[in-house]
Structure 1
Amino acid sequence: MTLTSRLIDPSDRRSMESVRALVAEAERTDGTAPFSDQALLAASRGTRTLIAFDDGEATRDHTTGSRSPVAVGVCGEGELDLVVRPDARGAGVGSAALAHLLAEADRETPTPLRAWAHGENPAASALLRGAGFAPVRTLYRLALDPARLAAAITESRAMPAGFGIEPFNPASHEHAESWVRVNAAAFADHPEQGGVTDADFAALRAEHWFDPEDLILARDESNGSLAGYTWIKTVRQGELVEAELYVLGVDPVYAGRGLGAALLGETLRRMSEHHPTRITLYVDGSNEHALALYTRAGFTVDTVSTQWLRNNG
């Protein structure tokens, strides 16, 4: 399989629309997003490289008018991601695109190199294993049956005494600064979430799905400090409404007080206002405490993603 590659300029609206169209098509087919928000955010900010692959029969996207790639890759910062257009799979596109991405990644950092296989994807796993990768990390997507939402709310823990909640205020510099600080502390050992910067947070708030009412802050009423937060990502597509617990974090200073469980209850109450047809969240497979919390609330495993590591350059 012979492919031609081209760099995508994140400021090129038409090219980015064609990328998003491919990503959306793959998600509809596979049932899970092929790229994380962090990977796309890094590509849009220019800290990772976005590469489109075309074959000899390039077509035009009827919506954007731009070339519709057969595959798109993201590489940089020691990671790579790849998605192949569903109707182009099984013809060697994935292996050819992966070889190009590996060469591109090795120019930046030969070793180690990480890659995600999102969802249960035997073809992606085979490609990565054949390229010298080994599985090192598991990410679960959990789902809650919307029919059980009311019961989960009833069974949830109340906010502990001495803590109050409020929505995020987009005009408040203090809200933004304290969120970044608490997020970094809560996820100090997390390879992606703990590194979210002020600029990253601002970019996420510029996403079409962001609603400040869906970012709930918990404060210590004795001193006004931000103690924790919960953030909901609500996406609407026609009659389908997916409410995702995007991230929930508690400052370690307040660990052991039941604040995480109480914030989950606030999450579910806010979700119910959106009348979701789907309720999801992502949690690292090694986070036993969070898995237990969500399982008690009625969440079950929906899909499993795997991160792969290549140590030899």
Structure 2
Amino acid sequence: MTDSAAAQEPGRQIQELGELTQEQADAVLALIEDAARTDGTPAVSEQGRLQLHAGQRPGIRHFLLSERGRLAGYAQLEDTDPVEAPAGELVVSPATRGRGHGRALGSALLAASGKRIRVWAHGGKSAARHLAQVLGLSLFRELRQLRRPLADGPAVPEPVLPAGVTVRTFVPGQDDAAWLAVNAAAFAHHPEQGALVQRDLDDRKAQPWFDPKGFFLAERDGTVVGFHWTKVHAEEGLGEVYVVGVAPGEQGGGLGKALTAVGLRHLEAEGLPTAMLYVDADNTAALAVYERLGFTTHEVDLMYRTES
């Protein structure tokens, strides 16, 4: 545990930890949820939230900012990619904003990463854009959240699978290794999704939202060649195209579009009024597919980085 040099404000302290206690993790999660009610979106990603209760993990560091003994902010640094700069996320309690806590946390992340960092600004809020500018970070990635109505929207097309391909649902335990392999191949270019390992899959399978009935695998001759994993956000009435992946040798043949339609039809049958998904703004091929399926941009997440 160390005190950050960024915490010079009287009454402010930043602790850097390799893991959180259950009490600390619960307090951070409550802070994230409180901020999300104000901001409209969580400031820390699903992966970051899963890592709150995950114990010590190589490359993961937590920063707790307290103001006169009370938790007022949180940041997380993930340094697990052998090529990309460490990735950071941060959040400040709405009740304590405007006191320099965001800058203090950002400065702590910069110091801990050796001033080589990527930082997410979920929702692309003006305050986050201003903080990135103050910290000397430059915009380099745009992630769009798209949405479309289901029951009251355009009809989801009938899935047309490539010849020789069949679809079934995921069997936990039995299909783990096959899914991890095709996911790694499909997202070899993606610094977050392509790096998932068994522990990451286990984390997701342990969540209340996990339902193998909404996790579809495409097979050719008994080999998994693609998948569509859906997710239900029950409180928001949203069905998510959580992730669609296609093995490199099967790309370009319409399998991704067919799997997307399979998942959307499942979400519609579950009675969900709206579907959502995330896609990189520079993935023009995927954007074109989703727009033809009736999706439009709902909000944008921005990633900033130090110049390298």
User: Above 0.5 in TM-score?
Assistant: yes
Q: Deviations over 1:213-261 (max 9, x none)?
A: 12111111xx211110001111222xx3221111000001111221111
Contact 2:230 2:240 in 1 (8 A): yes
Return the alpha-carbon distance in structure 2 between the equivalents of residues 278 and 30 of structure 1. Answer: 21
Q: Secondary structure at the match of 1:25?
A: helix
1:51–1:11 distance in 2 versus 1, CA, 3 Å: closer
2:155 corresponds, among 149, 152, 156, to 152
RMSD value, Cα? 1.9
Establish whether residue 235 from structure 1 lines up as the match of residue 233 from structure 2. yes
Residue ranges of structure 2 left out of the alignment (5+ in a row):
1-8, 80-85
Establish whether residue 90 from structure 1 lines up as the match of residue 98 from structure 2. yes
- Give the number of aligned pairs: 290
Displacement of 1:5: 2.0
Return the alpha-carbon distance in structure 2 between the equivalents of residues 156 and 287 of structure 1. Answer: 24
Q: Deviations over 1:78-132 (max 9, x none)?
A: 12111111222222221122222222222xxx43x11111112111111111211
Deviates more, 1:25-34 or 1:75-84: 25-34
Partner of 1:56: 68
Displacement of 1:11: 5.7
1:103 corresponds, among 111, 117, 125, to 111
In proportion to residue count, which structure has more helix?
A: 1
Q: Secondary structure at the match of 2:213?
A: helix
Displacement of 1:275: 1.7
Residue ranges of structure 1 left out of the alignment (5+ in a row):
59-68
Displacement of 1:42: 4.7
Q: Deviations over 1:19-48 (max 9, x none)?
A: 111112222222222112233345535231
Contact 2:264 2:275 in 1 (8 A): no
Please show how residues 253-292 of structure 1 align to structure 2 within 5 Å. Answer: 253-292=249-288
Please show how residues 1-313 of structure 1 align to structure 2 within 5 Å. Answer: 1-2=9-10, 3-7=12-16, 10=19, 12-42=21-51, 44=54, 46=57, 47-56=59-68, 58=70, 69-77=71-79, 78-106=86-114, 110-111=115-116, 113-149=117-153, 151-153=154-156, 155-172=157-174, 175-220=175-220, 223-237=221-235, 240-311=236-307
Return the alpha-carbon distance in structure 1 between the equivalents of residues 229 and 75 of structure 2. Answer: 28
Q: What is the TM-score when the length of structure 1 is the normalising length?
A: 0.86
Runs of 4+ off more than 4 Å: 7-11
Q: Secondary structure at the match of 2:144?
A: strand
Contact 2:145 2:300 in 1 (8 A): yes
Q: Secondary structure at the match of 2:204?
A: helix
Counterpart of 2:254, as a letter, is: G
Contact 1:241 1:274 in 2 (8 A): no
Contact 1:243 1:271 in 2 (8 A): yes
1:260–1:116 distance in 2 versus 1, CA, 3 Å: same
